[in-house]
Copies of this chain bind each other. A is one copy, B any other.
Amino acid sequence: MSPRVSKEHLKQRRADIMEAATKVFIEHGYEHTTMKHIMEAAGVSRGGLYQYFSNKEDLFEALLEEGLSEEAITTGVSLEKGGSHWTLLMQLMFGEDGNPDTEMDPLAPSKLEFFITGRNDMRRRAYGEKRYEKGLQIYNEIIKAGQESGEFSDHYDSELIARSLITFVDGLALDHAILPEEKVKLKEQSALFVDYLKMALGVSSSS
């Protein structure tokens, strides 16, 4: 008997499940999604699902990692291109084009859920912290680099600005998760925050 499925197919199957799961998590949220939902959306059997992911948490974390690596790639690419640090910051916050009118990650609400509801679970908490640190570091490095290169003012501590930036993004995601699309004023709030960042980093308004 030759192996029924090649390794490639396995990867594909895993990817398919993750894609289906993403849709389900977006629709029902983390807590209210059941393994059955995912099974059905992915067209996998119960046992099949558990072959790829040992539980819901594991599956969701895979989704989280995937998102992270995408971001990393984006960042990496941008770093090579060598625009200004400010441009880089904007790209990191708002995606490729660096404009604050981008759609929000539709999985974001579920991500928040995942970490909030799991805040009492040691493992999950540690994982959340690691993620936060990673994100913080990326922003911090750029800001620090910008300060060192003289592009940014060093009036404020780079890490503090990085933290605030994350806080703002998190707050926006939260409100976006809870309020109807039209009420969050994503774009306007982002623009206001960017104005503030310019001030805090001493960037002229001409960007």
Contacts and interface: CB of A to CB of B under 8 A. Distances in A.
Given A183-B129, A189-B160, A171 B178 contact: no
Interface of A: 27-32, 109, 112-113, 115-117, 119-120, 125, 128-129, 132, 156-157, 160-161, 163-164, 166-172, 174-175, 177-180, 183-185, 188-189, 192-193, 195-196, 199-200
Majority secondary structure, A binding face: helix
A177 B116 contact: yes
Contacts of A112: 112, 116, 174
Name, among A29, A170, A188, the residue most crowded by chain B CB atoms within 10 Å (CB to CB): A170
Contact of A170 (B28, B113, B160, B171): B171
A118 to B, nearest CB: 9
Given A30-B117, A167-B168, A167-B174, 19 more contacts: A28-B120, A109-B116, A113-B113, A113-B116, A113-B117, A116-B177, A160-B189, A163-B175, A163-B184, A166-B175, A167-B189, A170-B170, A171-B171, A171-B172, A193-B196, A195-B200, A196-B196, A196-B199, A196-B200
